[in-house]
């Protein structure tokens, strides 16, 4: 059986096997740092828990299942894709969840244990997936994913870059971002209208944020929601007293550390 790509699910099935192998190889369990909320230490014989998001017809799954250093589960919302996976990977069926990843209780599945995430993220919900990752930063040491090229560039952008935004700050607060490689439109069926890119997020050494996490996120989001305005104007709904050293700056000019400092200074 074949699975029909569904536009409402943002499905573009990767068919380039070499790209699939490169994505799977980018999941680097050997470099998981036991000191940064990563779970299995480097050199441990215990397989690393990995969750694949949106396996589709299993182009990544087939290679992930060949790795003896990981213990794989997958979540797929599309019934046709689930039927295909059950037919072609029958032994994997008990580890396959037919659910919406965004609604999935990851804590219930893993019981607070660390796990990595990998997947060709549906492009229409990729940002939502990253926000869910942020809810589990203490449990997710590494993410390897393919997203739209412009989304990958935005996430990896440094402060001062015109594409630097909300996800750039929030993800870089907790992760080191690596832009790995670009994938052309011809690697998919149906081909998307944009190029794609594979990125890797590795949990950095940050423990305590140093400010209230909810307020920090609110400050970042509010600032970038009016990114053309100075912080004095864009943050009026948060505080009337934006410190002078930040008042005339725009949000893309602030590093993660400066956003933390700003959050603490706002009254």
Kindly indicate whether the domain formed by 7-203 is annotated with CATH number 1.20.80.30: no
pTM of the model: 0.93
- The dihedrals phi and psi of 245, each to the nearest 5 degrees, come to -70, -15
- Say if residue 178's pLDDT is above 90: yes
Q: What is the C-alpha separation between 31 and 54, in angstroms, rounded?
A: 25
Place of tokens 């492009």: 123
pLDDT per residue as tens digits for the range 49-66: 999 999 999 999 999 999
For the chain, what is the mean pLDDT? Answer: 92
Q: Determine the pLDDT at residue 7.
A: 77
Burial 82-115 (b: 16+ CB within 10 A, else e): bebbeeebeebeeebeeeebeebebeeebeeebb
Confidence at residue 264, expressed as pLDDT on a 0 to 100 scale = 95
Domain range summary for the chain, segments of one domain joined by +: 7-203, 213-265
pLDDT at position 208 is 92
Give the β-pairing of 175-183 and 188-189: unpaired
pLDDT tens, position by position, 41-53? 445 568 999 999 9
Higher confidence at residue 42 or residue 242?
Answer: 242
User: pLDDT per residue over 222-236, tens digit each?
Assistant: 999 999 999 999 999
- Considering the segment(s) 213-265 as one domain, its CATH architecture is Orthogonal Bundle (1.10)
């Amino acid at each position: 059986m074949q699975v029909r790509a569904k536009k409402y699910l943002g499905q573009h099935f990767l068919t380039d096997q070499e790209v699939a192998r490169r994505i799977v190889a980018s999941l680097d369990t050997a470099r998981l740092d036991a000191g940064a909320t990563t779970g299995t230490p480097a050199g441990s014989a215990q397989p690393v828990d990995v969750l694949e998001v949106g396996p589709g017809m299993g182009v990544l799954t087939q290679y992930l299942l060949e790795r003896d250093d990981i213990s794989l589960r997958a979540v797929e919302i599309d019934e046709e894709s689930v039927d295909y996976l059950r037919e072609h990977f029958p032994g994997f069926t008990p580890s396959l969840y037919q659910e919406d990843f965004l609604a999935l209780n990851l804590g219930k599945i893993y019981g607070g244990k660390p796990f990595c995430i990998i997947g060709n993220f549906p492009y229409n919900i990729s940002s939502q997936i990253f926000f869910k990752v942020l809810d589990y930063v203490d449990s997710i040491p590494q993410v390897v994913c393919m997203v739209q090229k412009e989304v990958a560039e935005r996430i990896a952008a440094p402060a001062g870059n015109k594409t630097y935004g909300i996800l750039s700050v929030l993800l870089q607060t907790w992760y080191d971002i690596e832009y790995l490689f670009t994938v052309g439109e011809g690697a998919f069926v149906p081909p998307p209208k944009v190029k794609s890119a594979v990125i890797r997020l590795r949990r950095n050494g940050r423990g305590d944020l140093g400010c209230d996490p909810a307020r920090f996120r609110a400050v970042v989001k509010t600032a970038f929601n009016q990114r053309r305005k100075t912080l004095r104007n864009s943050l009026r709904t948060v505080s009337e007293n934006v410190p002078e050293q930040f008042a005339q700056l725009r949000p893309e000019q602030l590093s993660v550390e400066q956003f933390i400092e700003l959050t603490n200074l706002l009254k």
